């Protein structure tokens, strides 16, 4: 063994190299405060190792990037672990970087003769931030896509060369395959290679000047190995434990696949850029122009950082540097806190976050179906999914008048900001049409029959004409009122169940599954035509005004009169026809006040909306 080592040493000088690496002199003894640089090298090592392994399974294109990451995360052995380590180590690196920088400034480690090393460190910081930014886009999920859009738009606001710079980064005027291949090349080759080069210089220069020791006489000096190595290793262990904990308990997130046509209101940059995000949201910053907030001011801060070794020549300058550093940290933490606080109290943002989360859960369900992910990419699964698109279509097209269980379909309140006594307050917008959250269910039908006035009450807000037709002078409202006493009789509860079972059976909705108990439906049909209840009799029976061709029958019950036809009521076909033209004679006729959606929505959109409303999705 010894002979072999000597043979190698003779030819390589390995022993001297190892000796130099391990036996660096540390005056004043090993200390915990010296570990930060080593933890940074360690996190970078984790990134290199996990990054290379991830690259063996990642596929950079707009139809495969999200898909391959999904496959890594959910199907490949330990994919969640490797990706989690990579994801959270990147964030740990940012934190450690800030600590390292602060310590260097506080201890005055940037002063002569270490100026150059300080500058090398600042370059390394930029590279690490660049790695964070480019890596964030690679999963091609909504979160990364929209956050990175902001970054490249900022790039485009660079004076003089902005647009060219942006196109070069994107590989074209818009995001596409080449945006991913370029970001990938930046992330896995150009930036890491540059980082390694500067890291070697950084460590070499560091070794040249030695560690900055605040009090060399504190304890006897030691060598780097083993005392300081032990402390460094323990610190790395803590970092690793934290990263593993986050990976296991939180997991690296993967939001829904990127969709340029689908707004992502939950868009936020990665948390360590939140301060800049918040800063750019101030109106006075915006008034100075984007370049001021996003380029000049951060540039100025970097310039001051760069000039620190020069200021540091004077005692006062050193104090200025520390004060500046602290002020910057307070500013960053303050702005980050403000951003989080604003988001926490913004119900729209919270709803958007929930929707983003729901989408990321939903896509898992869709992707695990037997046909898997289609060749055109997973994004098409969500685009063609009634449960995903229905609520959005409802929010855009129906929620201006209707509500869905009190919200707009997607879980957001329909609100407006009004100024009261000079103060802006958020106020719920009044609905001007019915709440359709239960539309087509037995509960809905019972509401229409037993308390029409309450179910249709929001129409009173829709102007005099609508109020007159649908509330004040409505025959159905009168009917509901004059027959209300029947439903107060306990025995008639079952009659109402039967009648509504029959009516609900007409639509053939899918979910929630209607009560299709044949006997009940048959009894309901009887009540519909005869008006005979368990106790008493409906004076003016349903068929007196409505006509209905029961499902699976040829005969038409009742005569088509003034009231809407109930054939297939609230079912997919009925709903589609209704949405296309609610003013058709078989629906509201000339009383209609609802816009026709036949020329507002495409057939596909109508289909998705209808399928969602009748519960036709898995």
CB of 192 to other proteins, least distance (A): 15
- Of 74 and 562, which CB lies nearer to other proteins in the complex structure? 74
- Of 50 and 321, which CB lies nearer to other proteins in the complex structure? 50
User: 222 has which bridge partners?
Assistant: 26
For residue 426, which phi and psi values (nearest 5 degrees)? -95, 130
- Of 243 and 351, which CB lies nearer to other proteins in the complex structure? 243
CB of 369 to other proteins, least distance (A): 10
Helix 36-55 and helix 229-249, axial crossing angle in degrees, nearest 10: 50
66 contacts 144 by C-beta, under 8 angstroms = no
- Of 241 and 329, which CB lies nearer to other proteins in the complex structure? 241
In the 8-state DSSP scheme, what is residue 561? -
In the 8-state DSSP scheme, what is residue 563? S
CB of 272 to other proteins, least distance (A): 21
User: 141 has which bridge partners?
Assistant: 257
CB of 380 to other proteins, least distance (A): 12
233 contacts 41 by C-beta, under 8 angstroms = no
CB of 181 to other proteins, least distance (A): 19
CB of 605 to other proteins, least distance (A): 27
- Interface residues toward other proteins, by CB under 8 A: 19-20, 23-25, 42, 45-46, 49-50, 52-53, 56-57, 67-68, 70-72, 75-79, 81-82, 85, 207-210, 222-223, 225-227, 229-230, 232-234, 236-237, 240, 244, 367, 370-375
291 contacts 158 by C-beta, under 8 angstroms = yes
In terms of phi and psi (left: phi > 0; alpha: psi -120 to 50; beta: otherwise), the region of 212 is beta
- Of 150 and 229, which CB lies nearer to other proteins in the complex structure? 229
Instruction: Enter the tokens of residue 185.
Output: 């090349």
- Of 232 and 498, which CB lies nearer to other proteins in the complex structure? 232
Longest dimension (CA), the chain: 112
- Of 351 and 381, which CB lies nearer to other proteins in the complex structure? 381
528 contacts 542 by C-beta, under 8 angstroms = yes
User: Strand 222-223 relative to strand 423-428: parallel, antiparallel, unpaired?
Assistant: unpaired
CB of 211 to other proteins, least distance (A): 9
CB of 400 to other proteins, least distance (A): 39
Let me know if 297 is exposed, middle or buried by CB neighbors in 10 A (0-12, 13-18, 19+): middle
CB of 616 to other proteins, least distance (A): 24
CB of 71 to other proteins, least distance (A): 4
Let me know if 128 is exposed, middle or buried by CB neighbors in 10 A (0-12, 13-18, 19+): buried
- Of 375 and 423, which CB lies nearer to other proteins in the complex structure? 375
Residues in Cβ contact with 256 at an 8 Å cutoff, skipping those fewer than 6 apart: 141, 142, 356, 359, 360, 362, 363, 379, 382
The 3-class SS string of 194-249 reads HHHHHHHHHHHHHHHHCCCCCCCCCCCCEEHHHHHHHHHHHHHHHHHHHHHHHHHH
46 contacts 232 by C-beta, under 8 angstroms = no
- Of 213 and 339, which CB lies nearer to other proteins in the complex structure? 213
- Of 54 and 393, which CB lies nearer to other proteins in the complex structure? 54
- Of 88 and 273, which CB lies nearer to other proteins in the complex structure? 88
User: 428 has which bridge partners?
Assistant: 415
In the 8-state DSSP scheme, what is residue 535? S
CB of 411 to other proteins, least distance (A): 30
């Amino acid at each position: 063994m010894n002979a072999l080592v000597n043979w190698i040493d003779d030819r390589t000088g390995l022993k001297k190299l190892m000796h130099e690496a391990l036996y660096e002199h540390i005056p004043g003894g090993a200390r915990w405060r010296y570990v930060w640089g080593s933890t940074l090298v360690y996190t970078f090592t984790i990134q290199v190792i996990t990054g290379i392994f991830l690259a063996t399974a990642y596929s950079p294109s707009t139809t495969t990037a999200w898909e391959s990451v999904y496959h890594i995360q959910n199907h490949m052995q330990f994919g969640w672990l490797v990706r989690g380590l990579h994801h959270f180590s990147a964030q740990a690196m940012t934190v450690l970087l800030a600590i390292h920088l602060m310590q260097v400034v506080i201890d005055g480690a940037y002063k002569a003769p270490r100026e150059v090393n300080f500058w090398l460190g600042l370059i390394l910081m930029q590279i690490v931030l660049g790695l964070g930014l480019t890596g964030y886009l690679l999963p091609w999920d909504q979160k990364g896509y929209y956050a990175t859009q902001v970054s490249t738009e900022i790039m485009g606001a660079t004076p003089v060369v902005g647009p060219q710079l942006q196109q070069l980064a994107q590989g074209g005027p818009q995001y596409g395959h080449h945006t991913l291949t370029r970001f990938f090349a930046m992330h896995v080759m150009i930036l890491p290679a540059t980082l390694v080069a500067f890291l070697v210089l950084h460590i070499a220069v560091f070794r040249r000047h030695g560690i900055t020791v605040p009090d060399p006489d504190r304890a006897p000096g030691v060598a780097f190995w083993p005392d300081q190595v032990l402390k460094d290793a323990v610190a790395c262990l803590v970092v690793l434990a934290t990263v593993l904990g986050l990976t296991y308990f939180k997991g690296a997130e993967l939001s829904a696949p990127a969709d340029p046509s689908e707004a992502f209101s939950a868009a936020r940059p990665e948390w360590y850029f939140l301060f800049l995000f918040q800063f750019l949201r101030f109106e006075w910053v915006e008034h100075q122009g984007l370049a001021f907030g996003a380029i000049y001011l951060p540039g100025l801060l970097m310039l001051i950082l760069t000039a620190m070794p020069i200021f540091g020549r004077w005692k006062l300058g050193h104090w200025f540097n520390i004060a500046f550093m602290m002020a910057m940290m307070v500013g960053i933490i303050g702005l980050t806190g403000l951003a989080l606080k604003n988001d926490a109290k913004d119900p729209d943002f919270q709803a958007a976050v929930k929707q983003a989360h729901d989408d990321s859960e939903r896509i898992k369900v869709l992707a695990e179906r037997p046909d898997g992910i289609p060749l055109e990419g997973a994004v098409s699964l969500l685009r063609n999914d009634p449960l995903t698109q229905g609520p959005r279509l409802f929010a855009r097209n129906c929620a201006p008048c209707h509500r869905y269980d009190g919200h707009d379909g997607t879980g957001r309140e329909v609100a407006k900001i009004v100024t009261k006594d000079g103060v802006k307050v958020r106020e719920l917008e009044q609905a001007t049409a019915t709440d359709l959250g239960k539309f087509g269910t037995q509960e809905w039908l019972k509401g229409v029959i037993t308390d029409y006035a309450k179910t249709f009450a929001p129409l009173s807000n829709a102007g005099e004409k609508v109020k007159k037709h649908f509330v004040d002078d409505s025959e159905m409202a009168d009917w509901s009122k004059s027959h209300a006493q029947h439903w107060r009789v306990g025995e008639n509860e079952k009659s109402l169940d039967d009648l509504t079972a029959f009516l609900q059976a007409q639509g053939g909705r899918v979910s929630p599954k209607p009560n299709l108990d044949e006997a009940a439906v048959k009894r309901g049909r009887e009540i519909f035509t005869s008006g005979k209840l368990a106790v008493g009799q409906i004076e003016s029976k349903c068929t007196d005004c409505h006509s209905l061709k029961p499902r699976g029958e040829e005969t038409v019950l009742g005569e088509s009169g003034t009231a809407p036809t109930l054939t297939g009521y609230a079912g997919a076909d009925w709903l589609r026809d209704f949405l296309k033209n609610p003013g058709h004679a078989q629906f509201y006729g000339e009383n209609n006040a609802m816009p026709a959606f036949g020329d507002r929505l495409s057939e596909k959109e109508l289909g998705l909306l209808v399928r969602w409303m009748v519960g036709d999705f898995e």
